Structure 1
Amino acid sequence: MSKERDYYFEQYQDRKMKKWAGFYLSEHTAIIAKEQNKRPPEQKVQMSWIEIDAVLAKAFQEQLLVAIQKEELDSEGNYGEDIKGLIKGHDELGIYISDQKVGYDEIRHVDIS
């Protein structure tokens, strides 16, 4: 058995990093494809304060999930992802969703999820 083992290691050619290239490339290309397919969130219709208030009141009273688009653009001029969650509370300046405060003046659009 020793001779067979020695023969195997004499003939074996390690591919070194080449053996990992397939794994790396498939994972890497999947991430790149996902990023390229990701589109920035669309601009939703600007709601009036009366509409926003009605939706927020209903969501708070009935403990419904909401999705809020803030009136805020990133450096590329795109709107951010919606803030989603339950309304935990509110005060005179804004509401609390998932441990994040959103000011009433920052809300562009709100939907019940």
Structure 2
Amino acid sequence: MNYLNKEYHDRGIKKWAGFYLSEHTAVQEKLTNERHEVNPQKQQMDPQEIASVVNESILKNKSIAIQIEAVDQNGCYKDDVVGLIVGGDELGIYVNDTKVDFDEIRNIQFISLKKWTHLTDYN
């Protein structure tokens, strides 16, 4: 006795394509939105303004956000380099583990980073 149906053709992985969980679609939607997010062009600062912010950041241990002059292939600015200045040399500074040359800095601003203990609301 042959129990196999010779007419049935298994579509393989294609039959599971419609079974996405809501978490999967939410993550996909978030990634799509992030790809379409554009960083606005910030005001070009002169070297004296940049040096002033860098010096104050080092002296007072303040966090900064730096917009780099470079743009991607679509002409959009990359995400800001964010963090504390941890060192430097005659060519630039190190923000956390990222080297930023002085001639790459378009804009630099002080920011306040939230502590992880203040991110969750327990109300």
Amino acid at match of 2:93: I
Deviation at residue 29 of structure 1 after TM alignment: 2.2
Q: CA RMSD, aligned part only? A: 1.7
Amino acid at match of 1:43: Q
Instruction: Please give the residue correspondences for 1:77-96 in structure 2 after superposition, counting only pairs within 5 Å.
Output: 77-96=75-94
Deviation at residue 105 of structure 1 after TM alignment: 0.2
Unmatched segments (≥5 aa) in structure 2: 1-14, 112-123
Matched, 1:21 2:19: yes
Deviation at residue 34 of structure 1 after TM alignment: 1.5
Task: Please report the TM-score for the alignment, with normalisation by the length of structure 1.
Answer: 0.75
Amino acid at match of 2:67: Q
Which position in structure 2 is the counterpart of 1:10?
A: none
Extract structure 1 runs of 4+ deviating beyond 3 A: none
Percent identity among equivalent residues?
Answer: 41
Mapped to 2, the partners of 1:112 and 1:46 lie a distance apart of: 15
Mapped to 1, the partners of 2:51 and 2:108 lie a distance apart of: 9
Which position in structure 1 is the counterpart of 2:109?
A: 111
Which position in structure 2 is the counterpart of 1:5?
A: none
Amino acid at match of 1:80: K
- 55, 60, 63: which one aligns with 1:62: 60
Mapped to 1, the partners of 2:60 and 2:20 lie a distance apart of: 51
Q: Which has the larger radius of gyration?
A: 1
Unmatched segments (≥5 aa) in structure 1: 1-16
